[in-house]
Amino acid sequence: MLSKTCEYALRAMIYVAQHSKSRNMINIKEISENIGSPELFIGKILQGLSRQGFLQSSKGRYGGFFIDEKNAKRSLADIVIAIDGDKVFKGCGVGLNYCSEKNPCPIHDQYKKARTAIYGIYRSATLEQFQTWEESSPLLLKRE
Amino acid sequence: MLSKTCEYALRAMIYVAQHSKSRNMINIKEISENIGSPELFIGKILQGLSRQGFLQSSKGRYGGFFIDEKNAKRSLADIVIAIDGDKVFKGCGVGLNYCSEKNPCPIHDQYKKARTAIYGIYRSATLEQFQTWEESSPLLLKRE
DNA sequence: TTTAATTAAGATAAATTTGTCTTAATTGGA
DNA sequence: TCCAATTAAGACAAATTTATCTTAATTAAA
């Protein structure tokens, strides 16, 4: 489905959003411990997203990552597309490049409908939403 | 979504099913040319599926692969699971291992519904179906 | 029976994804 | 001002997926 990198990214972004409300920068050690990822790897991933404007970062003592109110309005779909591209939301069910309305594969119509539903779920899930959601279920994002 | 290997497998199985009606064994050269895959790679993939009983194979002159009526009743979902496992049909939308009814991730309910719909599409698409479908649109499976 | 055509199988290689290391740059506080 | 803590960046390494090579076994036909 999503790449591992993308799953890490989603969980990290949710974690950072959840903790950007009242506090200062969140560092990669804390993030990686809470989402169950390699520390330096999630650093790399967030650096990339930061370059693309998905979150703030600052170096030095008490540095780390932060998501402001504006960025918290972004959806999970934006993050998925930034990392994995839109193939997961647009691709064909049997992997055909040319598959389209004009030239549909055998499961095109049904598949497109389901795929669009998936896209809708990620599009309507904003980081903001998770900020309130967190209050009832802390420590959710660790993988196991 | 699906691995490349799995996409090749689906297209190859559909192709072989379509051509197993009236003719003899179909060889990997023909298959790879028609689905747009590396010849030896699709050989490997079909060998694996053949070991698992998804299709017949025979060596030697005029050898190749063949899908009989019984195997043609299998669904695309069976093939996907044989190759990629069921993660694509069962996995969590943000990649959490523990995610479940009791311990749902934030998008669990909606995501599960959409994922189940996808599963249904692959489950209800049998190889058999493609045999008649092919008559109207030949040469469909080549990737581009 | 010999030969050509084919899959089987295991080893190898290439490409991609995932993860780590090292050094540099930056920041805040003592 | 100096130090400790942090991200930035690029090189490197490991793991996984995708693809190829080589040899063997099998089969049908000439």
CA→C1' distance for A36 and C17 (Å): 18
Residues lying close to strand D (Cβ under 7 A), chosen from 70-129 of chain A, are none
Mutate to test the interface with B, among A18, A96, A109 (most CBs of B within 10 A): A96
SS3 (DSSP) at A8: helix
- What are the residues whose beta carbons fall under 8 Å from the beta carbon of A27, sequence distance 6 or more? A63, A64, A65
pTM score of the predicted model: 0.91
CB B26 within 8 A of CB B20: yes
Subset of residues 75-104 in chain B with CB less than 7 angstroms from any atom in strand C:
none
Residue A58: nearest nucleotide (C-alpha to C1'): D7
List pLDDT tens digits, range A39-91.
Answer: 999 999 999 999 999 999 999 999 999 999 999 999 999 999 999 999 999 99
DSSP-assigned letter for residue A48:
H
Q: Which of residues 9-38 of B touch A (CB under 8 A)?
A: 10-11, 14
Task: Select from A96, A114, A122 the Cβ nearest to the Cβ of B143.
Answer: A96
pLDDT at B134: 57
**pLDDT tens digits, chain B, 144 residues: what are they?**
899 999 999 999 999 999 997 768 999 999 999 999 999 999 999 999 999 999 999 999 999 999 999 999 999 999 999 999 999 999 999 888 888 888 888 889 999 999 999 999 999 999 998 887 655 554 566 655
